[in-house]
Chain A
C-alpha cells in the first residue's frame, strides 16, 4: 500500500520531468527513473518476468538507443542540445488548470469500483517461482509458446521488418547498378578462379 503511493509519486514526477525537460538528455534520465519505478510497480503486481524485461528491453535497449541518437546528432551541432520550445508564455497560466483536470480525472477513476471475479479463474497466488502460481515465469512461457504462439511468431516478423526498415532508412545509399561490362569482367574472374581451384 505504502509502496504503491511512493511508486505513484515517483512515476508521476518522472513523467512530468521527462515531458518538461529542456534538454533531451535529461528527458532520457527521467525516463530511466520512470522505467525503474514501473518495474518495481510490476513487482507489486506479481509480474516478475515483466519487471525483468522492462529493465532489460526498455532501460537497457531503447533508452541506450535514444542516448546514441542524441550523442550522434548533437556532436558539433549546438541547436540540438536544447530542443526548440514553442510553448508561448501565456500557456503557463494553463498549467494549474491542467493539474486540476488531471487530479479530477484521477479522483473520478479512483472512486469507481471495478468488478473483479471473486475467485481465481486460472491460477492462484502463492510462493513466487513455482508453476501454477500467478505470474510465474513457467506459466508465462507455457502460455506464450502454446496458446499465444501465433502472436509470438508475428512479433518475430515485426522485428525483422523493423530491422530492414532501419537499415534502409539510416544505412548507406545503395550502390549504382553495375554496368554490363563490369558484370562480364566479374563473371570471367569467377570462372578463372573456379578453373584454378579445380587444378589444385
Chain B
C-alpha cells in the first residue's frame, strides 16, 4: 500500500544532480538573469525532494512546505528582477563582475 513505484533514493539522486546543475549555473554564468534562473532550478530540486519524502511518509506537511517555498521563490524572483532592472538602468551592464559597487 505504501510502496512507491520508484524507490525514494532515485528521487534523491535526481534532485541532487539538478541542484548541483543549478549551483554550477550560479558559479559559472555571469549573466544575472541566468543566475536567477539557476537559483530557481535549485528551489525546484528542493521542492522535488519535499514532494518525494511527503509521498514516502504519506504526510502532506511536505506539500505545505513546497507551497511556501514556491511563494518565497516568486517573491525572490520579483525582487531579483527589479534589482537587475535597476542596476541595468544605472550601470548599463549585464555582467555581474562589473557591478562591484558594494565591494569596498
Chain A residues engaging chain B, CB cutoff 8 angstroms: 1, 4, 8, 11-12, 15-16, 18-19, 21, 24, 27-28, 31, 34-35, 38, 41-42, 44-47, 49-50, 53-54, 57-58, 61-62, 65-66, 69-70, 72-73, 77, 79-80, 83-87, 91, 98, 102, 105-107, 109-114, 116-125, 134-135, 139-140, 143-144, 148, 151-152, 155, 158-159, 161-163, 165-166, 169-170
Contact = CB atoms under 8 A, between A and B. Distances in A.
Main secondary structure of the interface of B (DSSP, over half): helix
A76 to B, nearest CB: 12
A28 B84 CA distance: 16
Contacts of A118: 2
A141 B27 CA distance: 38
Interface residues of B, number: 70
B75 to A, nearest CB: 4
Given A84-B31, A119-B2, 13 more contacts: A44-B6, A58-B70, A73-B94, A83-B30, A84-B94, A85-B29, A114-B7, A114-B9, A121-B57, A125-B2, A148-B64, A151-B68, A162-B79
B13 A69 contact: no
Contacts of B57: 116-117, 121
Given A65-B81, A66-B36, A122-B59, A57 B94 contact: no
14 contacts: A4-B5, A21-B34, A28-B37, A34-B44, A47-B54, A50-B51, A65-B78, A69-B33, A69-B84, A79-B94, A80-B88, A111-B9, A113-B9, A158-B75
